Amino acid sequence: MPPKLRSDDGKHVVIRPLAYCTERDIAAYATVRAFPLIPCTLCGSQPNLQRVAIKRMLHSWAKDSPGRIETIFRSLQHAIPSHLLDPRLFDFAGLGGHAEEQGNEWL
């Protein structure tokens, strides 16, 4: 989700002011400022959520391949519609060419 997102119906805008901050930096800042911890079981802290599995995967990637997370983050900032495989964003069918000649109309 981007740092600023308008809802599909256009009625609301979600603003995530800390979207570009790492969780580690946010936790350190909260510690320095002595922000109180509010217990929460609604925001992804349950042990078997997909969010927890993805967090583990990202930590593993960061350990095994330093810089990989930053590379992924940068690539999401420079998305090219023709590279996303979404026909609503790019007219793949209108390209024509070799794939159609091979009978691969889905390309």
Q: What is the pLDDT of residues 2-49, one digit of tens each?
A: 889 999 999 999 999 998 898 889 999 999 999 987 877 666 666 677
Q: Provide CB contacts within 8 A for 25, sequence distance 6+.
A: none
Q: Read off the pLDDT band of 105 (50, 70, 90).
A: low
pTM over 0.95: no
Residues 41-91 pLDDT 10s: 666 666 677 888 888 999 999 999 999 999 988 888 888 888 888 888 888
- Please report how many Cα atoms fall inside a 13 Å half-sphere around the Cα of residue 92, on the Cβ side: 16
* Rounded Cα–Cα distance for residues 44 and 54 (Å): 11
The tokens for 34 are 């002595």
pLDDT of 99 higher than 90: no
**Running DSSP on this structure, what letter comes out for residue 80?**
-
